[in-house]
Amino acid sequence: MDATAREAQSGLEWRVTVPEGASVTVEYESGLAGRAWAWLVSCVAVLGAKVSGFAKKVWKIGADDPRRAVHSLKVGLALTLVSVFYYTRPLYDGVGGAAMWAIMTVVVVFEYTVGGSVYKGFNRAVATASAGLLGLGVSWVASKSGDKLEPIITTGSLFLLAAAATFSRFIPTVKARFDYGVTIFILTYSLVAVSGYRVDELLALAQQRLVTVAIGIFICLAVTVLVWPVWAGQELHLLTVRNMEKLADSIEACVDDYFAADAEEEEKRDPKASKSEGYKCVLNSKASEDSQRNLARWEPAHGKFGFRHPYGQYPKLGAAMRHCAYCVETLHSCVGAEVQAPEHVKQLLSDVCTRLGAQCARVLKEASRSIAAMTVSRELDLAVAEMGTAVHELQGDLRDLPFSLAKEPGEASLIDAMPLFTMASLLTEISARIEAVVEAVDTMASVAGFKQPEDDDEKKGDAELKLKVHPVNESDSDEPPENNRSKATV
Amino acid sequence: MDATAREAQSGLEWRVTVPEGASVTVEYESGLAGRAWAWLVSCVAVLGAKVSGFAKKVWKIGADDPRRAVHSLKVGLALTLVSVFYYTRPLYDGVGGAAMWAIMTVVVVFEYTVGGSVYKGFNRAVATASAGLLGLGVSWVASKSGDKLEPIITTGSLFLLAAAATFSRFIPTVKARFDYGVTIFILTYSLVAVSGYRVDELLALAQQRLVTVAIGIFICLAVTVLVWPVWAGQELHLLTVRNMEKLADSIEACVDDYFAADAEEEEKRDPKASKSEGYKCVLNSKASEDSQRNLARWEPAHGKFGFRHPYGQYPKLGAAMRHCAYCVETLHSCVGAEVQAPEHVKQLLSDVCTRLGAQCARVLKEASRSIAAMTVSRELDLAVAEMGTAVHELQGDLRDLPFSLAKEPGEASLIDAMPLFTMASLLTEISARIEAVVEAVDTMASVAGFKQPEDDDEKKGDAELKLKVHPVNESDSDEPPENNRSKATV
């Protein structure tokens, strides 16, 4: 019944296909014209399919993040504003004049995030002003030093300054904060030095250009801040929070997949594949973290982010998370490995490993919630302590494994359990690296001044949590949790 | 003797320190002037130290890669050339005119690599031409449609085109290849649309601007190609080769460190620390690989790199290497872990693990040599086969471990050996991932058309190698090497 329905469906699909159908019907008409027509129809159909495929892809880009479409409209708006501003001015003097610089400024300065626009605007303004002043000074000196020396001074200073400024871009601090400014500095100085204008003409020109650039920057910043602003700091914050959640889900899913019985394996693995591979996002996020951090420091205070919000902590937190993700990557390949421990051996550690995986995920999720809310989490320390307990339980079970195996029916060598040992070691190492992540979160909480939590009693289910956690804390006292936090334990 | 010498030295150092000495001597002079003088002297000394420290840092940047200094001089040269070109022209018409566009083009188009300059030059030329043409067309239509409609058409088209072009930058292909072109397209179209010139004036302007931009691009490309060129393709190639060598050294150093006796540990580990951490370069190279690959595709044929050299293979190879480096990272943390297997247990696997580590390194080094020389390596397959044999030996030794332990004097539980199992599993997994790297190298060799090796007999020591390798190949026949290449084995 199901098969026939599918056949009927696929038959329908085939009948819809335009190019083939068209070529079949026109085969009766003889001659070149008919074939050409068929070819044309099939070409149009293929082109139409390609265009609609492309349109769908483009639509998806916009639908995935509507702020992209908004950003495009914002650029259009800023450009329209600046052009209308210059259109309506009585002193309008064509493309060679002031309007050009304002338009150029808007096109080049407008960036996706507020931080990006501020960075470029600041760099452009400062570089234009300083290079203009320097150029004026050198022009003045050159004009006083005679017709013969003048071109030598002008060209020589251009060569030296351009070379020095270009070289300064290789200094990491300059690269990170003033890269665009250096370009504009060289550009402005070249224009002033080579202009050949007299100094008094230059002064007027420089003043006009500065005002125009300022107007362009002002329009950019107004549009970027007032119309649905995208803050680089907030993006960085969200990226970090999201990555931490993905890492948590990934660890839990990996452990669950590992101990899922082989029979259920196929059904279980597919829907979870995306979850257990979440660590990949963490592995690849360094570049975007660094660039967003560089832009975020230009942003004024906004929302929960103060003026001196420690954006520098995010890449450190990201590094700790990546350190953890490297290990999760190895764990993930254990799940898909060909050589596995026998199922009944796996079952011996299944409970304790699953518990540890869940505790690891709980710690990361709690840390992620704490960062998301910018609030110190009371539960975080408890979760870390419980994770430490789970590690001890795992180590205890591992120590008992030879005796457990001996009790099992059939012949189970300890060597068969080797892949399981690897899995357990990796899980232990992951929990140690999660503690490093928690330390980074603690540092961020103290540096960024996270809020103290409100009265916990309001929170749902907190009372039960405390009851569950208390005995764990006591049993942990013979092995202080500080010890767990110290170092890798693989 | 040594101690007194050091003391004397440190005493000398203290006497040299300027600010403190100065403040001590001037304490005798009474009054404000003396203190101000002391303060000034110490300020100058601190400033001097800072300046000299900064100068040293800048010098180091240049000394590490002299091509950076050369690049700076090249930018100066190109700018000087273009300004002299316009200085000496009789029709020179100041900063508002043609010279400006040529200078602007040189400043913006000149990049560190040839590929970067070609990318920007091509984008600038095509975007200027197409946006200019489109702007002319729209201006003509607008001028024909009456005074009322004209500003609406002009501004409306500006808004729509700017928004559409900005949105197109979110399409990955456009972002990777035409990002700069889109900016220039918006810029040029805005300038033409808002110019307010008549169409015939615009035509002359457009033509002049195109010629000027072309001259700027020509000067840029001439300087960048003729004076000590830096090719993005070659950089990418070298980066890949170097990373592969570092990965090889890293694996070998990690294994050696792990089995180094505790007594020698301290002396051994320090000099090797940099070697065993070479994998970190591999972990962080994704961004530079991607960007260099994007630039390399713009480069013409040069040296060993043909016009259609498959630069796209390098990021794939890089991904395979990173996949391997994740595992090496975990291995590296085993070396530094607190919980270790007892020394005598370690010694049982020391030989076989060290051999496997050396084989892994040998395969990677051979692969790296093959890429560096762009020659198919005959030894590579043999090295992979030997690595497979080493893996089998390790697995055999692991299977025998319970019996070996039983023969040892004293009580050695198999559980003590757990960290060693993890180490062995990781090493096995690393060798599986190295096989994936070798596959990527093979793909590259066939796609890029690597040369076949010349007659091997000329090579030093090749005959002995073959002798050594042959029996290994035979012993491997019961477990075909293709099988080793299939999947992860942790």
Structure-token match 């110490």, residue found: B42
pLDDT of A289 over the 90 cut: yes
Least confidently predicted of A135-139, A234-238, B252-256, B337-341:
B337-341
pLDDT of residue B124: 94
ipTM of model:
0.79
Q: Report the DSSP beta bridge partners of residue B305.
A: B302
Q: What is the mean pLDDT of residues A29-42?
A: 84
CA distance A196 to chain B (A): 6
pLDDT of residue A145: 87
pLDDT of residue A455: 58
Q: What is the mean pLDDT of residues A336-354?
A: 85
Cβ proximity of B487 and B432 under 8 Å: yes
Best mutation target, B422, B423, B434, B485, to test chain A (most A CBs within 10 A): B422
Mean pLDDT over the full length of chain A: 81
User: Rounded to two decimals, what is the model's pTM?
Assistant: 0.80
User: In whole angstroms, what is the distance from residue A165 CA to residue A183 CA?
Assistant: 8
Task: Write out pLDDT tens, residues A241-265.
Answer: 999 999 999 999 999 999 885 545 5
Say which residue, A341 or A44, is predicted with more confidence: A44
Q: Does A287 touch chain B (CB under 8 A)?
A: yes
Our CA dihedral for A17, A23, A26, A28, rounded to 10 degrees, sits at -120
Q: Report the DSSP beta bridge partners of residue A450.
A: none
pLDDT of residue A10: 42
pLDDT of residue B127: 94
What whole-number percentage of chain A has pLDDT above 90? 49
User: In whole angstroms, what is the distance from residue A202 CA to residue B184 CA?
Assistant: 27
User: In whole angstroms, what is the distance from residue A74 CA to residue A80 CA?
Assistant: 10
Q: Does B187 touch chain A (CB under 8 A)?
A: yes
Say which residue, A98 or A325, is predicted with more confidence: A325
Best mutation target, B64, B68, B80, to test chain A (most A CBs within 10 A): B80
Q: What is the mean pLDDT of residues A182-195?
A: 87
Amino acid letter, residue A413 = S
Q: What is the mean pLDDT of residues A352-374?
A: 94
Q: Does A55 touch chain B (CB under 8 A)?
A: no
User: In whole angstroms, what is the distance from residue A373 CA to residue B486 CA?
Assistant: 46
Say which residue, A454 or A125, is predicted with more confidence: A125
Task: Write out pLDDT tens, residues B187-236.
Answer: 999 888 877 666 777 787 778 888 888 989 999 999 999 999 999 999 99
Least confidently predicted of A91-105, A121-135, B214-228, B456-470:
B456-470
Q: Name the phi and psi angles at A244, rounded to 5.
A: -65, -40
pLDDT of residue B24: 42
User: In whole angstroms, what is the distance from residue A462 CA to residue A85 CA?
Assistant: 59
Tokens at B432, concatenated: 């599986």
pLDDT of A476 over the 50 cut: no
* pLDDT confidence band for A329 (50 / 70 / 90): very high
Number of H helices, E strands in chain A: 19, 0
Q: Does B237 touch chain A (CB under 8 A)?
A: no
Residues 6+ apart with CB under 8 A from A441: A317, A367, A370, A371, A380
pLDDT of residue A97: 63
Q: pLDDT below 50 — which residues of chain B?
A: 1-28, 90-92, 94-96, 263, 266-268, 457-490
Within a 10 A sphere around the Cβ of A66, how many other Cβ atoms? 10
Least confidently predicted of A398-412, A419-433, B77-91, B392-406:
A398-412
Count A/B contacts: CB-CB distance under 8 Å: 250
CA distance B193 to chain A (A): 9
In A, which residues are within 8 Å of B157 by CB distance? Answer: none
pLDDT of residue B263: 44
